[in-house]
């Protein structure tokens, strides 16, 4: 055991967390529970790193209260090692869904397991089943101590499957690859569990947490905050990538007819809700390989790699069907959409976007003319008598 190396390793972990806390301060609001949990995780890693270094520093040293201190330090380490992955799971769930009620509803077994393991960790002082501090104040791991690692893996896998399930249903969290966080943590924790004297768990957790935070920033940069789908910035990135690889693709631009009337008649809050409702319709209508973007305001674009101009025919038909189902429901407004398609097989991307835009507005003018024709003329009155 090299105490100097252990102190340096955990000092690096503390430094990384302090830097992350400083960087994240502008991204975190105290009103959101997920942000409070993220800050708690940062300070938890700092605490774990300090306790880890302290545990090695006092191990084998004889002084008044040394064994009690060694027990106390290791109790904190074992509890933090297990609980921080659970709080990461809670943080991810709140970030995805924003519903505190989900935590007890879906993670009751996780909470119970965590509470039992913490209780056993305290009981270990009286009945050493996890580890023992010998009369010489030397830490020795017992076989039950490995079960804590099983619980840690259980929490990590729960987080991974939570993200996979959300991605399958919504597709908006494509930038968050949980393996970027999980791999360094599993490697560091795994090596440390097999070889006492190495201190890698907390620094690997710090590295993973920094990577996870960086991926979230990509998510914030490329996802529209209101409707939760890709934004125009990411669309530009996708188009540049496809063009650089000489790919052909088809696109459709979609716009809500008379969206201003919804805002004027029902308020902007209801207008935002209408955009979310339409986003849901469009998202559910997308097939594999079809990417949905919020282009601007109430305009959306769907892109798909295709070798033929009619590559989005099935998508448009699905939108029509879902739109009809929406309009028979008891909502204060009905949706009418205009759209324009275009096909890109080389040339100027601005012309591709302009073509979609022009065709969409041609349809919008047609819809406007149809409304004008069917509307009663000004000053007209119904002169038909009830008996006629």
pLDDT tens digits for range 99-144:
888 999 999 999 999 999 999 999 999 999 999 999 999 999 888 8
Mean pLDDT value of segment 245-261: 94
CA angle in degrees (0–180, nearest 5) for 270-272-273: 60
* CATH 1.20.1070 is the classification of domain 3-222: yes
Q: What is the mean pLDDT of the chain?
A: 86
HSE-CB at 4 with a 13 A cutoff on CA atoms is: 0
Angstrom distance (rounded) from CA 388 to CA 43 = 81
Q: Residue 177 burial by CB count (10 A; 0-12/13-18/19+): exposed, middle or buried?
A: middle
pLDDT of residue 377: 46
pLDDT of residue 381: 39
Listed in order, the ranges of the chain carrying CATH 3.30.70.270 are 230-374
Strands (E), 215-316: 230-231, 249-256, 290-296, 299-305
Tokens at residue 335, please? 């949706």
Phi, psi of 348 (to 5 degrees): -95, 125
pLDDT of residue 314: 94
Mean pLDDT value of segment 184-213: 80
Residue 384: pLDDT band with limits 50, 70, 90: very low
* Threshold 0.75, pTM exceeds: no
230-374 in CATH: which number? 3.30.70.270
The per-residue pLDDT for range 257-287, each reduced to its tens digit, is: 989 999 888 898 999 999 999 999 999 999 8
Is residue 252 within 8 Å of residue 315, measured between CB atoms?
yes
Q: Which residue(s) pair with 254 in the sheet?
A: 300, 339
Report the percentage of the chain scoring pLDDT > 70.
89
Compute how many other C-beta atoms are within 10 angstroms of the C-beta atom of residue 272.
14
Listed in order, the ranges of the chain carrying CATH 1.20.1070 are 3-222
Tell me: pLDDT of 32 over 50.
yes
Residue 197: pLDDT band with limits 50, 70, 90: low
Compute how many other C-beta atoms are within 10 angstroms of the C-beta atom of residue 165.
11
Which range of 164-173, 193-202, 211-220 scores highest in mean pLDDT? It is: 211-220
């Amino acid at each position: 055991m090299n105490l100097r190396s252990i102190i340096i390793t955990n000092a690096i972990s503390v430094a990384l967390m302090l830097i992350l806390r400083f960087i994240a301060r502008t991204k975190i609001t105290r009103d959101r529970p997920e942000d409070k949990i993220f800050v708690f995780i940062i300070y938890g890693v700092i605490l774990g790193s300090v306790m880890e270094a302290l545990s090695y520093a006092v191990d084998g040293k004889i002084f008044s209260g040394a064994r009690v201190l060694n027990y106390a330090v290791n109790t904190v380490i074992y509890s933090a090692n297990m609980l921080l992955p659970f709080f990461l799971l809670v943080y991810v769930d709140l970030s995805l869904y924003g519903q505190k009620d989900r935590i007890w509803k879906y993670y009751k077994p996780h909470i119970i397991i965590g509470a039992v393991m913490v209780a056993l960790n305290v009981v270990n002082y009286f009945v050493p089943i996890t580890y023992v501090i010998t009369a010489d104040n030397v830490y020795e791991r017992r076989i039950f101590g490995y079960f804590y690692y099983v619980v840690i893996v259980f929490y990590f896998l729960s987080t991974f499957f939570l993200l996979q399930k959300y991605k399958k249903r919504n597709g908006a969290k494509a930038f968050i690859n949980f393996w970027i966080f999980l791999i360094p943590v599993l490697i560091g924790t795994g090596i440390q569990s097999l070889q006492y004297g190495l201190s890698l768990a907390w620094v690997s957790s710090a590295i993973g947490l920094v990577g996870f935070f960086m991926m979230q920033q990509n998510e914030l940069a490329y996802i529209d905050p209101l409707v939760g789908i890709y934004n125009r910035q990411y669309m530009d990135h996708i188009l540049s990538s496809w063009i650089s690889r000489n790919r052909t693709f088809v696109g459709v631009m979609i716009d809500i007819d008379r969206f201003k009337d919804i805002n004027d008649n029902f308020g902007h809050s209801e207008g935002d809700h209408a955009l979310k409702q339409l986003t849901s319709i469009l998202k559910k209508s997308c097939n594999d390989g079809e990417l949905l973007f919020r282009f601007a305001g109430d305009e959306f674009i769907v892109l798909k790699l295709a070798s033929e101009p009619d590559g989005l025919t099935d998508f448009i038909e699905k939108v029509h069907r879902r739109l009809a189902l929406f309009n028979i429901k008891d909502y204060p407004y009905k949706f009418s959409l205009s759209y324009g398609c275009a096909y890109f097989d080389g040339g100027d991307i601005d012309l591709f976007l302009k073509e979609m835009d022009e065709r969409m507005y041609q349809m919008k003018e047609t819809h406007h003319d149809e409304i004008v024709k069917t509307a009663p003329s000004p000053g007209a009155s119904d002169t038909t008598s009830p008996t006629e």
